[in-house]
Structure 1
């Protein structure tokens, strides 16, 4: 009886396990706090071709394509990440791996890891395919039930093989590139290639292609240059003509390379997929320093300053040009040469400019340009530059001061005018001209002065008369000047006005009309008496 009861309990327990077990598993599968899975590591070698007779670096890429067995995808990384991954490689035949075990850290599904190893291929190794055996050791979490805190950790070792190709044909690398060509200019670029293969190459030709529209080879995106012959391990440097767009940024430009060659048996070959980068030189620049101006509305003046070559290259036959298109600023000399300037070197310049009467007396920015020749003696123009100047208001060329401003009606006088040169330059052949209107007249209306220095004064005299019937009041006298400036240019000044006051005719003088009348009367009376006596 007791035995029968024990058997019944065992059967009940088994039935409970068979029913509850799947229920618990199903509950864990749908539970967001439960996850079960594992990593799945693979090894690849993107470039597995090695030359004989040397030690080459082979990059192993470890990737992870893990999977979830049960649980929430939100917890995927917990069970698919491989931690503390260690890589160790071995190779068959005469090849030898020089690198021991190395750790690459954690490998996740979205972050593969690289493990570079050194592989020596003997000189006498037969060309062909060899197997590289790679052992991966790592730890991972196989399942996690956060509700109970139960975690399962495992260690795994995975072994995979990779095919290595030993190829004794020529192979090439672009080891360096360089150019002194600045942005916005054209020039040359040098590229150095090396035969990293195990066999000599003849009739080697290097083709480079730019991946940017801002960097060109000549007038196109690609150019080919003949190298010649290259023995294994030998380098060669070749040149290319390049041009860099003015709008390009100061960065490294990516280049794709292809090498065509013939091997020792005369068989043509191509080595594609070469890459390189080249850094453009900074844009050639100039700047102005210590700029001063003596500009005034209606006059000629100078813009003076110092031009600096900000580099990076020497600029030859440098010319400062006035490039502004303002109708009120007229360059007397549109450009001035300052010679050659090395990077960092400076030179002084002076540009004479005339401002019209319509110019405004305000601060101005004038557009300038720097013309120069580069190291290849090619003409270039730098236009990203201007100068700031102050423009002074208009002024009189001459200052006038009249000594005697009164004139009696019916009389004449000498008017003396003190003339002062108000300009900043010496003027010569100064011809003064007086203009009058009735009832004021002048029979001596011109004056001459040989030269006047800035601030110098001379006196010019004019004979001026007023009609006897002139009404007493203030009348206008007008004057202008014709003169030569320091450059020999003949100019006419503005018209100046000054006043002269006509007063009443002077009393107490000789009554000329009465005198003349009396003389006439005496002559008439005397003549009558004479005729009477004779008769």
Structure 2
């Protein structure tokens, strides 16, 4: 072949190759409908170029498929399945370094349907972006399977829309839109499946108790080595020591129900409402294959907080004395309480409980009983209406001690009074005379007084006689006795004047402690002597006058 022939062949080959590029760009996309456009970047450095520009021809397309790693779905619920979208792209012409330019599916939209079957895909169209050969996409789908659906395989139809570059050469790209329909099977199993049919608890707000969940196997086969795990969705409810707890129940036959107890506790601030719990059952199928049935859900409402009320409260409190607060304690529910004790819970220094508490026994919900709590009021206390804090201690159904603190009563504190009252019927005495006075003593303590000794005191011009003490072996509350004392007047007592006498009492109180009362003053009036003689002052003045007159007469005679 001569040199001219060789040149002619080369030119012809180049023309044929150029024509091939143009024909290929007009071809349709594989696997679905397509539209085609071409673009060119003359400089080869444009920022909008979708791929690095090369003079090498690259031609190909994406090849999409789908798979389900776990195709099993369960009747009676909405199942979550993960669809994997795989791109096994094809390259007709080109090098490995440039294959991504034509195998990448861009702007991918996926729609799944379950036509001609009882299943329903709840997930709408999903935008997935780009799917490359080396990066499959996991697509979550929600598939509802009605109760009663027969076990077996059911087909899902997967429509995928995307765009891609079919050919790239010398800065010219040919883009296409494509739609492909794919299919994948899901398997409706006859494995055991479960439902919580009832949840109850005897736990109260602020306390702990037992939560019982009743679980039913609504599947077609038995479950073996089953473990039921429940979890609380609220900080107000704990199962065991944490938010979740698990119990092993063994085997559960189809249609069988089992009731599983869990330790449950509610915080003291938890409102009385329904609390959500979720769970799952881990088990082995009849074939010995481990399986987990998720999606258990239920709600549980605690019993209200245990409360008590104090009613019909009466008070005998008085400043400086011992008294009592009496009333009725009512178990306002919602459950029975054992070993109920009324406790004084105040912190006022002038109110001192003689006994810190009073036991009243067990009370059913709504039941009431009387209580009495002895209390002493200090002498520095103010009289009037006082708020007194109480607490109710009890034991719950589990024998655990609990305290209800929100109890307060209003109690009247009477003003201070004398421990004893004294009365003298005749409160007079003759000038320069003596007499026996009878003093009526009344016990105002509100309790018995024993070994009562009274002592009389007097100041000039009054004096006590030989009998200046009185005694009573005992004196009940409110009881009176009469004591006799001797009283005399001195020569300086002026008729018509009033002078005080004083008495005090030493006694033993109801506890056997020795006490000394305050001092009581009684006025005594001095009256003229009934003998007719002149009073000493008058006699003294008269004698002084007579003496003075006699002295004057004597001097005149001298």
Which TM class, normalised by the smaller chain length?
A: 0.5 to 0.7
- How much does 1:162 deviate? 10
Residue 378 of structure 1 pairs with residue 406 of structure 2: no
**Number of residue equivalences:** 389
Q: Specify the alignment match of 1:521 in structure 2.
A: none
Residue 493 of structure 1 pairs with residue 481 of structure 2: no
Q: 1:447-458 maps to which residues of 2 (within 5 A)? A: 447-458=470-481
Q: 1:81-480 maps to which residues of 2 (within 5 A)? A: 91-92=116-117, 118=146, 120-122=148-150, 125-126=151-152, 128-131=153-156, 165-408=187-430, 411-442=433-464, 443-469=466-492, 473-480=497-504
TM-score, with length taken from structure 1: 0.64
Distance in 1, Cα, partners of 2:454 & 2:185: 105
CA contact (8 A) 2:73 2:145 kept: no
Task: Report the 3-state secondary structure (helix = DSSP H, G, I; strand = E; otherwise coil) of the residue aligned with 1:377.
Answer: coil
TM-score, with length taken from structure 2: 0.62
Distance in 1, Cα, partners of 2:454 & 2:413: 29
- How much does 1:280 deviate? 0.3
CA contact (8 A) 1:411 1:468 kept: no
Distance in 1, Cα, partners of 2:78 & 2:280: 22
CA contact (8 A) 2:193 2:219 kept: yes
CA contact (8 A) 1:336 1:349 kept: yes
Name the CA shift for 1:470/1:132 in 2 (closer, same or farther; >3 Å). Answer: farther
Per-residue Cα deviation, 1:301-353 (whole angstroms, up to 9, x for no partner): 11111111111111111111111111111111111111111111111111111
Q: Specify the alignment match of 1:112 in structure 2.
A: none
Distance in 1, Cα, partners of 2:229 & 2:258: 14
Moved more, 239-248 or 406-415: 406-415
Per-residue Cα deviation, 1:224-256 (whole angstroms, up to 9, x for no partner): 221221122222111111111111111111112
In structure 1, stretches of 5+ residues that fail to align are 1-47, 61-88, 100-114, 134-160, 512-535
Name the CA shift for 1:382/1:279 in 2 (closer, same or farther; >3 Å). Answer: same
Per-residue Cα deviation, 1:35-63 (whole angstroms, up to 9, x for no partner): xxxxxxxxxxxxx9655xxxx54679xxx
- How much does 1:471 deviate? 6.7
Distance in 2, Cα, partners of 1:168 & 1:439: 118
Distance in 2, Cα, partners of 1:219 & 1:441: 83
Name the CA shift for 1:132/1:238 in 2 (closer, same or farther; >3 Å). Answer: farther
Name the CA shift for 1:497/1:164 in 2 (closer, same or farther; >3 Å). Answer: farther
CA contact (8 A) 1:132 1:164 kept: no
Name the CA shift for 1:420/1:231 in 2 (closer, same or farther; >3 Å). Answer: same
- How much does 1:451 deviate? 3.4
Task: Report the 3-state secondary structure (helix = DSSP H, G, I; strand = E; otherwise coil) of the residue aligned with 1:330.
Answer: strand
- Structure with bigger gyration radius: 2
CA contact (8 A) 2:321 2:445 kept: no
- How much does 1:117 deviate? 8.5
Task: Report the 3-state secondary structure (helix = DSSP H, G, I; strand = E; otherwise coil) of the residue aligned with 1:352.
Answer: strand
Residue 483 of structure 1 pairs with residue 507 of structure 2: yes
In structure 2, stretches of 5+ residues that fail to align are 1-70, 80-113, 121-142, 159-182, 537-558
Task: Report the 3-state secondary structure (helix = DSSP H, G, I; strand = E; otherwise coil) of the residue aligned with 2:332.
Answer: strand
RMSD: 3.6
